[in-house]
Amino acid sequence: MQVGIILAQFDYILVGAGSAGCVLANRLSANPEKTVCLLEAGGNHLSPMLHIPAGWATNFNNPRVDWGYSTQPEPELNDREVYWPRGKVLGGSSAINGMIYIRGVPRDFEDWSQAGAVGWGWEDVLPYFVQAERQQTHRDDLHGNDGPLHVEDVRDKRPIHEVFLDAMQSSGIPANPDFNGQDQAGCGYYQFTQHNGRRWSTASAYLDPIRARKNLTVITGATASQIQFEGKKATGVTYDRKGKSSSVTGGQVVLCGGSINTPQLLELSGVGDGERLHTLGIPVIHNSPEVGENLQDHVLTKVVYKTHPDQSINREVQGWRLLPTAMKWFFTRRGPLTTGSAPVGGFWYTQEGLDVPDVQIHYASGATLYNNQGRIRAMNVPAMTAVVNQNRPESRGSLHITNTDAKVAPEIRANYLSTDNDRQCLIRGIRMLLNIFDQTPLQGYLEGRLSPGPEIDPSNDDEILEYIRNDASTTYHPTSTCAIGKVVDPNLKVMGVEGLSIADASVMPFVVSGNTNAAAIMIAEKAADLLQK
Residues with active-site annotation: 477
Largest CA distance in the chain: 70
Residue whose beta carbon is closest to ligand FAD: 18
- Residue 236 binding ligand FAD, by CB under 6 A: no
CA distance linking residue 432 with residue 430, whole number of Å:
5
Using CB under 6 A, pick the residue from 270, 272, 340, 452 that binds ligand FAD: 340
The string of DSSP letters for 307-326 reads E-GGG-GGGGGSGGGHHHHH
Min dist CB 108 to ligand FAD, Å, is 13
- Residue 477 binding ligand FAD, by CB under 6 A: yes
List the alpha helices (DSSP H) in 226-282: 258-268, 274-279
Of residues 258 and 452, the one with the C-beta less far from ligand FAD:
258
Min dist CB 88 to ligand FAD, Å, is 4
Q: Give the 3-state secondary structure of 81-130.
A: CCEECCECECCHHHHCCCCECCCCCHHHHHHHHHCCCCCCCHHHHHHHHH
- Residue 389 binding ligand FAD, by CB under 6 A: no
- Residue 19 binding ligand FAD, by CB under 6 A: yes
- Residue 100 binding ligand FAD, by CB under 6 A: yes
**Which residues make Cβ contacts (< 8 Å) with residue 503, sequence separation at least 6?**
20, 21, 24, 254, 255, 256, 492, 523, 524, 527
- Residue 86 binding ligand FAD, by CB under 6 A: yes
| 192 beta partners | 100, 152
CA distance linking residue 256 with residue 401, whole number of Å:
18
- Residue 341 binding ligand FAD, by CB under 6 A: yes
- Residue 414 binding ligand FAD, by CB under 6 A: no
- Given the DSSP bridges, would you call strands 383-390 and 359-364 parallel, antiparallel or unpaired? antiparallel
Min dist CB 530 to ligand FAD, Å, is 16
How many residues touch ligand FAD (CB under 6 A)?
44
Min dist CB 342 to ligand FAD, Å, is 8
Of residues 39 and 168, the one with the C-beta less far from ligand FAD:
39
Torsion angles phi and psi, residue 224, rounded to 5: -65, 130
Min dist CB 504 to ligand FAD, Å, is 3
- Residue 508 binding ligand FAD, by CB under 6 A: no
Determine contact, residues 358/390, Cβ cutoff 8 Å. Answer: yes
Task: Classify residue 140 as exposed, middle or buried by CB count within 10 Å of its CB (0-12, 13-18, 19+).
Answer: exposed
Min dist CB 375 to ligand FAD, Å, is 14
CA distance linking residue 462 with residue 417, whole number of Å:
14
Min dist CB 237 to ligand FAD, Å, is 8
Q: Cα Rg for the chain, rounded, in angstroms?
A: 22
Which listed range, 12-20, 176-184, 379-387, 446-454, lies at the site for ligand FAD (CB under 6 A)?
12-20
Of residues 168 and 260, the one with the C-beta less far from ligand FAD:
260
Determine contact, residues 97/340, Cβ cutoff 8 Å. Answer: yes
Torsion angles phi and psi, residue 178, rounded to 5: -155, 105
Determine contact, residues 369/376, Cβ cutoff 8 Å. Answer: yes
- Residue 135 binding ligand FAD, by CB under 6 A: no
- Residue 223 binding ligand FAD, by CB under 6 A: yes
Using CB under 6 A, pick the residue from 38, 96, 216, 511 that binds ligand FAD: 96
Of residues 224 and 427, the one with the C-beta less far from ligand FAD:
224
Min dist CB 476 to ligand FAD, Å, is 3
Using CB under 6 A, pick the residue from 344, 518, 527, 531 that binds ligand FAD: 518
- Residue 520 binding ligand FAD, by CB under 6 A: yes
CA distance linking residue 136 with residue 156, whole number of Å:
16
Closest to 473 in 3D by CA, of 346, 327, 290, 301: 301
- For residue 446, the Cα-to-chain-centroid distance in whole angstroms is 32
Determine contact, residues 509/110, Cβ cutoff 8 Å. Answer: no
Using CB under 6 A, pick the residue from 184, 261, 365, 368 that binds ligand FAD: 261
- Residue 250 binding ligand FAD, by CB under 6 A: no
| 236 beta partners | 228, 249
- Residue 144 binding ligand FAD, by CB under 6 A: no
- Residue 265 binding ligand FAD, by CB under 6 A: yes
- Given the DSSP bridges, would you call strands 271-272 and 186-189 parallel, antiparallel or unpaired? unpaired
- Residue 345 binding ligand FAD, by CB under 6 A: no
Of residues 406 and 427, the one with the C-beta less far from ligand FAD:
406
Of residues 256 and 317, the one with the C-beta less far from ligand FAD:
256
- Residue 224 binding ligand FAD, by CB under 6 A: yes
Of residues 259 and 301, the one with the C-beta less far from ligand FAD:
259
**x-or-dash pattern for ligand FAD, window 168-207, by CB under 6 A?**
----------------------------------------
End-to-end CA distance of the chain: 39
- Residue 253 binding ligand FAD, by CB under 6 A: no
CA distance linking residue 296 with residue 299, whole number of Å:
9
- Residue 82 binding ligand FAD, by CB under 6 A: no
Chain contacts with ligand FAD (rule: CB under 6 A): 15-21, 39-42, 85-88, 92-94, 96-100, 102, 222-224, 256-259, 261, 265, 340-341, 476-477, 504-505, 515-518, 520
